Amino acid sequence: MSGNAVRREAIWNVEAYVPPAISFNGAEAPGEIFGLNVFSKTVMQKRLPKSVYKSVIATIEHGAMLDPDVADAVASAMKDWALEKGATHYAHVFYPLTGLTAEKHDSFFEPVGDGSSLAEFAGKTLVQGEPDASSFPNGGLRNTFEARGYTGWDVTSPAYILENPNGNTLCIPTVFVSMTGEALDHKTPLLRSQQAMGEHAARILTLFGHENQNVVAFCGPEQEYFLVDRHFFLARPDLLNAGRTLFGTKPPKGQEFDDHYFGAIPDRVLGFMMDTERELFKLGIPAKTRHNEVAPGQFEIAPMFERGNLAADHQQLLMTTFKAIAKKHGMECLFHEKPFAGVNGSGKHVNFSLGNADLGSLLVPGDTPHDNAQFLVFCAAVIRAVHKYAGLLRASVASATNDHRLGANEAPPAIISIFLGDQLADVFEQIAKGAASSSKGKGVMHIGVDTLPVLPTDPGDRNRTSPFAFTGNRFEFRAPGSMQTVAGPMTTINTIMADSLDYAAGVLETAVAAGTDFDTAVQDLLTQIITDHGNVVFNGDGYSAEWPIEAEQRGLANLKTTLDALPELVTESAMELFERYGVFNHREMHSRYEIGLEQYALTIGVEARLSLEIGTTAILPAAVKHQTEIALNIGALKAAGVEADIAPLDEVSAPITALRAGLATLRAALKSDVGHSALAEAEHARDVLLPAMADVRAAADALEELVADELWPLPTYQEMLFIL
Ligand code: ADP
Ligand code: MG
């Protein structure tokens, strides 16, 4: 089929598409299906002996060490439950450093001597698995001859049933470590960091008179994504293989009308959203908010916040579910940070707070934050952490794909700063001068229509340009990319918070022991933190041209690309920090750094090869055909004695020449030998491949505007973004 026919057919298919019917009815009402497929506390309470249940809950709720004796009882109950739910297999699910989810499936049924089979699932099978680790990135943590990797049951994240038309699977969330116990995954360090943060938060609470508190980190991830009709998706090898378009001019109509954000959701998309929510509910994932996003074809889902570790697992499961259900509705769900150049990209905001069921969020200021000392200590700890470890926060969101988004005036800049809002900023300004004695109160908004109520306004406005913004009861880290797992950023936030809380607790404990009155000690601590770290507070416009200049004067780093940010992981101070809180040892930090470089080079390498292939085999032939037709036309006109304008031929020939040259450069760049160090390959990707791809794209995009539509081989931005 010619390029044009593929596109025509795609459009026709989109038009003729009838969404599959879905409904919430009878036993499938939302309230009834929530958690239906989860081996939840309620299920455990029903099915486990009382003592076993109590022991498991002590681990989940209070972080107690898991009693190995309970595993057999839990495994047996879990197996019975799973078999009743139609499961035939079980899988240890883990989160390797590719950022994806991995699972190894095994059957419950084991043959017995007489030719029949028996469903077996022992405690040791629940607790530990041994997938071959050799095909997952390890950044030098393992020699290839030591292929062993172990998965270990994470009791704090419940097992669940994953449904599939061909059979159900019991999924068990696990950590994934090497033979020596070093982390090969994202979950292990997240759990370690949670433990460290909790320990030091509890010390602060003890000082404020709340003894024995188990403090956890909460995370509410907001996921942005694009939906594209699958016919277009399949006709775009770049989207299919790299997750983003490597070619394409801006459509005549883009997002400048702002008519998509919060607009009515198209029926087909709404059908998809309802279907996904139903599946998420079954898995116990509390999907809550859904709406359109800024760009055409872009949407957002925000589940309710949960404990960080659970939120991270749920977030991974959400992405898998979205991909599968989009397909069912004839669409592809794109999680790439920048699928379309010149169009808004996608992020995954990580809303962070800490607290527990007893005390709620410890980041709630109340109406008069100036006299809420406990809140101010936690808040000051965040300010110190973000200032001191801005580089690590930046590194935690570094990837080749997120580089397209950060600093492009649609996402926060790569400069890490904190937004506090009017009220809190004012309180901390008072603290810097000595002590805070007042809080700016809530205002009221007069709308000017008598029948409308007077609406209260929040004491602080929102700031969409800040990478780390206080939003009333939590901080919102806005820099993470849409494709990332939240485990990485959460691990960093927990660890730097552990450091700040440890520091604050130390200062207060020492002062109190020396006989200083507690209020004075708190006051001094706050004043000192805001004096040393107040530079990171910025309430202005992060997109403005002045901010990078001001930030530099304030001594805030601007680590623009992944390769600028990754070295932050292996500074002496970073390695000392992560080691001190038992989150990563030196070797693990080095491995993360190496893997970051590897993934960067691999991502760009794939894109470069795709650019070369699509440019050479699809775009150049179409352009040449168009050029030939113009040339033939000029020849025919001349032969007929008509005066022919050769300008159109020149116009299309110039970008064809540029495209040929660009492709030749790219081909040579891909062949050049850059040695085998991960750093050399990553630098080659950034300094040679990316610019070469940009030249190829510029020529190809110029051609898209010239070549006859019927010859153009790729679905256009117009088609992909507006036809759903
Ligand atoms: P926005 O208006 O910022 O886009 P959304 O409602 O889309 O907000 O998402 C906000 C996210 O923040 C949700 O996931 C929500 O559950 C989460 N959230 C709310 N309160 C807290 C909290 N105390 N700690 C962590 N996350 C929270
Ligand atoms: Mg939102």
**Tens digit of pLDDT for each residue in 300-310?**
999 999 999 99
Which of 307, 474, 493 for a ligand 1 pocket mutation test, highest count of atoms within 8 Å of Cβ?
474
Q: Does residue 96 lie within any of the structural domains? A: yes
User: Is the CB of 477 within 6 Å of ligand 1?
Assistant: no
Query: Which residue in 511, 379, 370 sits closest to 435, CA to CA?
Result: 370
Q: How far apart are CA 603 and CA 599, in angstroms?
A: 6
User: 272 with 329: CB under 8 angstroms?
Assistant: yes
Ligand 1 atom 17: the closest Cα is on which residue? 220
493 and 428 within one domain = yes
Q: How far apart are CA 302 and CA 289, in angstroms?
A: 5
Q: Does residue 581 lie within any of the structural domains? A: no
pLDDT of residue 410: 72
CATH number for the domain harbouring residue 81: 3.10.20.70
Q: Does residue 582 lie within any of the structural domains? A: no
Tokens representing 92 are: 């240890």
The pLDDT tens digits of the residues spanning 379-394 come to 999 999 999 999 999 9
- Look at the alpha carbons of 290, 291, 295, 297 in this order and tell me if their dihedral is positive or negative: positive
Q: Does residue 590 lie within any of the structural domains? A: no
Tokens representing 271 are: 């059908």
pTM: 0.94
DSSP 37: T
DSSP 568: G
Residues of the chain where predicted confidence (pLDDT) is lower than 70: 1-3, 19, 21-30, 142-147, 254-264, 408-409, 441-463
Last residue of a domain, one of 346, 366, 385: 346
pLDDT of residue 296: 86
User: Is the CB of 375 within 6 Å of ligand 1?
Assistant: no
What b/e sequence results for 249-286 when a residue is b if at least 16 CB atoms lie within 10 Å of its CB, and e otherwise? bebeebbeeeebeeeeeeebbebbbebbbbbbbbbbbb
Q: What are the helix (H) ranges across 535-676?
A: 546-553, 562-565, 572-580, 586-614, 620-639, 647-671
DSSP 655: H
> Which ligand sits closest to the CA of 472?
1
Q: How far apart are CA 468 and CA 477, in angstroms?
A: 5
User: Is the CB of 353 within 6 Å of ligand 1?
Assistant: yes
Ligand 1 atom 4: the closest Cα is on which residue? 222
Q: How far apart are CA 325 and CA 322, in angstroms?
A: 5
Give me the amino acid identity at 65: M
Last residue of a domain, one of 324, 346, 368: 346
Query: Which residue in 513, 230, 194, 237 sits closest to 354, CA to CA?
Result: 194
User: Is the CB of 364 within 6 Å of ligand 1?
Assistant: no
414 and 314 within one domain = no
378 and 301 within one domain = no
332 and 433 within one domain = no
Q: How far apart are CA 704 and CA 656, in angstroms?
A: 11
Q: Does residue 59 lie within any of the structural domains? A: yes
Phi, psi of 621 (to 5 degrees): -60, -40
Q: Does residue 2 lie within any of the structural domains? A: no
> Which ligand sits closest to the CA of 224?
2
CATH number for the domain harbouring residue 626: 1.20.120.1560
pLDDT of residue 23: 55
DSSP 617: I
Ligand 1 atom 9: the closest Cα is on which residue? 302
- What is the whole-number distance in angstroms between the Cα of residue 472 and the centre of ligand 2? 14
Angle at 362 between CA 356 and CA 366, to 5 degrees: 130
User: Is the CB of 463 within 6 Å of ligand 1?
Assistant: no
pLDDT of residue 266: 79
Q: Does residue 468 lie within any of the structural domains? A: yes
- What is the whole-number distance in angstroms between the Cα of residue 38 and the centre of ligand 1? 23
> Which ligand sits closest to the CA of 476?
1
| Residue 503 neighbours by CB distance under 10 Å | 17
- What is the whole-number distance in angstroms between the Cα of residue 219 and the centre of ligand 1? 8
Q: What is the mean pLDDT of the chain?
A: 90
Strand partners, 258: none
Q: Does residue 89 lie within any of the structural domains? A: yes
699 and 616 within one domain = yes
- What is the whole-number distance in angstroms between the Cα of residue 222 and the centre of ligand 2? 6
Query: Which residue in 493, 494, 487, 521 sits closest to 506, CA to CA?
Result: 521
152 and 63 within one domain = yes
Q: Which residues contact 118 (CB under 8 A, 6 or more apart)?
A: 109, 110, 112
235 and 106 within one domain = no
pLDDT of residue 453: 56
Q: Indicate the length of the chain as a whole number.
A: 724
205 and 114 within one domain = no
Q: How far apart are CA 416 and CA 394, in angstroms?
A: 7
CA distances from 189 to 58, 198, 361, 494, 573 (A): 21, 14, 23, 10, 18
pLDDT of residue 165: 80
Angle at 183 between CA 179 and CA 186, to 5 degrees: 145
372 and 332 within one domain = no
Total domains present in the chain = 4
β-strands 475-477, 468-470 pairing: antiparallel
Last residue of a domain, one of 311, 346, 381: 346
User: Is the CB of 458 within 6 Å of ligand 1?
Assistant: no
> Which ligand sits closest to the CA of 293?
2
Provide the residue range defining the domain that includes 237. Answer: 8-33+223-346
CATH number for the domain harbouring residue 240: 3.30.590.10
27 and 45 within one domain = no
Q: How far apart are CA 718 and CA 188, in angstroms?
A: 43
User: Is the CB of 220 within 6 Å of ligand 1?
Assistant: yes
Query: Which residue in 492, 471, 481 sits closest to 599, CA to CA?
Result: 481
- What is the whole-number distance in angstroms between the Cα of residue 326 and the centre of ligand 1? 24
User: Is the CB of 464 within 6 Å of ligand 1?
Assistant: no
570 and 449 within one domain = yes
User: Is the CB of 285 within 6 Å of ligand 1?
Assistant: no
Which of 219, 294, 304, 305 for a ligand 1 pocket mutation test, highest count of atoms within 8 Å of Cβ?
305
496 and 613 within one domain = no
